[in-house]
Amino acid sequence: MDIHEILRHLPHRYPIILVDRVLEIEAGKRIVALKNVSINEPVFLGHFPHYPVMPGVMIIEALAQAAAILSFVTFDKRADRNAVYYFAGIDNARFKRPVGPGDQLRLEVELVREMRGIGKFNGRALVDGQLAAEAELLCAYRQIPPTAAGSARRVGES
């Protein structure tokens, strides 16, 4: 799955889209995706200017975006203005090595179970075969109330 297909599945856009390519996807089971980490990303202006390190929360967000793609494919849904896919929980997050510009994150996410729009996932982020981070994720698919969906605008829209 290339970036054009990813953008059809996720509502995220620059600067928060954190999945660049999907290598493998098995609906209802697992996904393997890539995030190319570049010095051009705005976060590196401040985290840290003297030693750029990708924030752990952004690594977890990349895993969550891969999980969302897996869910959307599994349940044959697309991201739209009437629904969102929220974080509902993060458990047992562990960070094993720093991630920086020039690294390529391999995002491996497995669907553990899904019930009533809430998915539980196990995620791992690797760099060059080494574990960089891992976490258990809970994500929830929810409809946006009509009044909120009608008033929600993307940045730059009028």
The predicted structure's pLDDT at residue 85: 86
> Hey, how many other C-beta atoms are within 10 angstroms of the C-beta on 34?
15
Q: How far apart are the first and last CA of the chain?
A: 31
Examine residue 157 and state whether it is found in any structural domain, yes or no: no
Q: Give the mean pLDDT of 48-61.
A: 96
Predicted model pTM: 0.91
Contact present, 120 and 136 (Cβ < 8 Å): yes
Q: What is the pLDDT of residues 92-102, one digit of tens each?
A: 999 999 999 99
Whichever domain contains 17, its CATH number is 3.10.129.10
Query: Residue 135 belongs to what domain range?
Result: 3-151
Who has greater pLDDT, 114 or 82?
Answer: 114
- Exposure on the CB side of residue 119, measured as CA atoms within 13 A: 27
Report how many domains make up the chain: 1
Examine residue 39 and state whether it is found in any structural domain, yes or no: yes
Name residue 14's amino acid: Y
pLDDT class of 153 with cuts at 50, 70, 90: low
Examine residue 99 and state whether it is found in any structural domain, yes or no: yes
Nearest CA to 37 out of 13, 23, 55, 10 is that of: 55
Which of 4, 9, 12, 47 does the annotation list as catalytic? 47
Is 9 a catalytic site residue? Answer: no
Q: What is the pLDDT of residues 11-36, one digit of tens each?
A: 899 999 999 999 999 999 999 999 99
Q: What is the pLDDT of residues 133-148, one digit of tens each?
A: 999 999 998 888 877 6
